[in-house]
Amino acid sequence: MRLKDKVAIITGAGSGLGRAIALRFADEGARLVIAEINEAKGEETLSLVQQKGVEAFSVTTDVSSSAAVTRLFQSIDDRQWPVDILVNNAGNAGHLTPVHEMTDEQWHAVVDVHLSGTFYCTREAVKRMLSVGRGGAVINMSSVAALRGLPGGSSYTAAKGAISSFTKGVAQEYASLGIRVNAIAPGWVETPILENLPDEMRPMLVASTPLGRIGAPEEIASVALFLATDESSYVIGQTISPNGGMYT
């Protein structure tokens, strides 16, 4: 088991990529902290990972709130668990809106969750990794939208692009201390975020992917597992994009 005795925090773990990553990490023996804004979905994921025989607990968390993130990490401290792995996966996406029609609220609803949430969680995780002194891995969730753009999704594109840049900066700050920071930029994947896209767009998504299909969450989870283990010990500050060939 490649993650035996490691503690992994996964935000947005109630569905989609987050749940797939939690299940994959559980298969590898990790102890898990399920951070999810939807309490019911968080409990569903918790039940699934506990069925695999690993220690885990769930904390209802809105990562766009610094105070909520502080409470999340305090709950980990209260259990005297270390922090070995952080997966900044929590995200959302509103309906596609041209930038000239976008409101302040629509902008912040996306940027605050993706970008600020990634910052808040990374800050708290790194503090604890440094105090223990045994390194760690931070995995941020960017998007292929950050690489090629997404018409109507300027807030999402901006947030994901900033996450890739944030990854590079933080990676260089802590690489010498054994903390590896990398990002994943998935292409189109079957997650709840796709539900916000019009049905007529689905054939277009498939057509834009040379592999000829939309990805499965489990395929992204495999990349996350690689970045969480020592198999990626020389990978620092990178954004890896499993996207079926839509951007190379």
Residues acting as catalytic residues: 156
CB atoms within 10 A of CB 67: 9
Determine contact, residues 247/187, Cβ cutoff 8 Å: yes
Structure tokens at 231: 């198999």
Beta carbons of 29 and 54 less than 8 angstroms apart = yes
CB 168 within 8 A of CB 226: no
DSSP annotation of 33: E
- The helix or strand, by DSSP H or E, that contains position 203, with its residue range, turns out to be helix 202-207
Q: DSSP for 126-166, please give it.
A: HHHHHHHTS-EEEEEE--THHHH--TT-HHHHHHHHHHHHH
Token pair listed for 137: 């891995």
Give the contacts of 136 (CB within 8 A, at least 6 positions apart): 83, 84, 85, 86, 125, 126, 129, 178, 179, 180
Q: Of 64, 76, 224, 77, give the one whose Cα is nearest residue 139.
A: 224
